[in-house]
Amino acid sequence: MDILIQVKALTWHEVLIRIIAAVTVGCVIGIEREYKNRPAGMRTHSLVCLGAAVVAVLEGLMLHSAGDLLHDGVSITIGRMTAQVISGIGFLGAGTIFIAQKKISGLTTAASLWNVACLGVMIGFGYYYLALIIGSFIMLVLSVLQRVIRVNTIKRVEIRFTNRRSTLPFINDYLQKNKIKVLDIDFHIEHLPSTDNPEDNVYINLYTMHLPSEFHFSDMVAELSENVDIQVVRTRNV
């Protein structure tokens, strides 16, 4: 059964509203990313959302221009251009993902760019309220979700210290007091050639540990650093 679709003409007023809405939504999400000093910020998100909206508006305009052909039995596929936006945004998202010290960063920003592109397409087709609701959920995930649900993964922590006789019991007591589960320990000693006193050596302990859900790693760094014999507290990826 053939179905004829009545295509509504877009006025310049409606096109302008959609463009402004796309820039606004992309800007709001981009500000959150820029506030956290992520690779893609306000301008990138605004441009992605704007570009996606432009493609969707263009497809709507072209569909209306070809409306007369529908009555002549010509088949027209809707969505090919916008589909290329959703798949093509991958190259920009990949540019925000980088590896530093064998740690992958930028995945969340890449996901937010992809979502902004989808929002731009949605706004371009005129679904303002739905885009506003989905944009609110995106902001909720980016700014609130991690504060509500904390997931502490297994961390590898390097602690570099001197005066092993007093410092090591201090570290062990601290870990036990805060219910930090130590899964494995690797250690290394840096002997100083200028002295024969073993207390002057630098000891490096690499802990594989699981932190309690309510515990913040930054608190451990601050509290362990109060000990004058502890030189370094940092995470390690290998």
Per-residue pLDDT reduced to its tens digit, 116-144: 888 888 888 888 888 888 888 888 888 87
Per-residue pLDDT reduced to its tens digit, 216-232: 888 888 899 889 999 98
Does residue 175 contact residue 182 with C-beta atoms inside 8 Å? Answer: yes
pLDDT higher than threshold 50 for residue 5? no
Higher per-residue pLDDT: 207 or 61: 207
Q: Decide: pTM greater than 0.85.
A: no
Largest CA distance in the chain: 96
Helices (H), the chain: 12-35, 42-65, 67-70, 80-88, 90-95, 107-124, 128-143, 145-148, 164-177, 217-224
User: Residues 175, 179, 185, 191: what is their CA dihedral angle, to the nearest 10 degrees?
Assistant: 0
The DSSP string of 167-195 is HHHHHHHHHHHTTPEEEEEEEEEE--TT-
% of the chain exceeding 70 in pLDDT: 76
Per-residue pLDDT reduced to its tens digit, 173-199: 999 998 888 888 998 888 766 666 666
| CB count in 10 Å sphere of residue 91 | 8
Amino acid at 91: F
Q: Read off the tokens for 211.
A: 């932190």
Q: Which residues pair with 235 in a beta bridge?
A: 157
**Could you tell me the domains of the chain?**
12-148 (no CATH), 154-236 (3.30.70.260)
